[in-house]
Structure 1
Amino acid sequence: MADVLTIDDLVGLLDRFGMKVGIDLDGAAAEGVSRELVAARLSHALVGVVEAHASRADDAARRAGADASDIAEITLMAFAGANCQREADEWALIEWRATRLAMALSELDFGGPLPRSGQVGSGDVLVRTIREVAGALAAMATAKRVTTDPLRPAGDAAVAGQGLARAMDVLEQAAAAAAGHRAVGDLMRMTG
């Protein structure tokens, strides 16, 4: 496994992308925040600025004539950048992305009539369905990664199988909202 970048390296990279960061490691340590957690926070901030740059680069490529197949092809460069060497590596990256998406959706508050409930943010029925489907996607990606990795730790398959079964239950529940979402989609098409 590759080493984690140092905090100084991460701060330098964030600076290169225009995000100025000041770190008080002594203050963080006094609050019980480890250097590893600081590095993880900075790493995710770096992911955010790089994704924002990639989004702008996609838009520029589209304006220059790139079509959906071109964008799909360049999307695969993330797997090259992550140095995926085998199918299990690809699934590990997909799992990581799906899990982080589900986590972000659970933590973010969105406008709508549904109040925040514990760790799950607010929103509306569509947001709730998006959260459910994202969580199920993360569990399915975990199950697929486990089944493709002959080097997986003992017991991972059982845990992933439980998660996969729960994901199917969640998808069945989410499907119950499909008629309402379809009706909203039809209204949106009409108002175009």
Structure 2
Amino acid sequence: MGYINIDFTAGCTNNKWENLLHTHSIIQLVNTPTRITSTSSTIIDHVYTNHPENIVETVVPKIAFSDRYAKCITRKINQKDMPCLCHKQIRYRCFKNFDENNFLGDLNKTSFTQIEQIIDVQSATAMWYQLFLSVINNHAPIKMKRIKHVRQPDWLTDEVKEAQKKEKCLPKQRELE
């Protein structure tokens, strides 16, 4: 948008300016006068875009505090580009009541020896994971929390997120075996 002072009224031309716009695929959207005096009516205030499909309408309301009218546009906004204003829920391990000594004690009481009889490495890993999860879930349970803004801690890297995705797949693999 701008105060360009080049008249775009029909019949008025500025070839250099119009060639520049055409070269860069830019379109001037205002087509009604933006400055009206007792002797003239001109389109000298402009709105430019190179994506006219994103503009729903261009309006020049006939209200002004000077001899120039305002220019108003309505821009189309894609929902996917809008930040979600809704609350999100996250899953996390709650360590509020975590006692390391009790956790280690329960871990020592867990019989991991049964894994030694399993020949398949994936099945053995899944069994170890299941035994470990049963202990950790008692001491640091997974909880859900409603949050306004998702801001993850620095340690939550892409590598950790990938490991979390794999964690979700392990129970499904066990069902298939």
Greater strand share, structure number: 2
Greater helix share, structure number: 1
Is the structural similarity TM-score above 0.5?
A: no
Give the TM-score normalised by the residue count of structure 1: 0.23
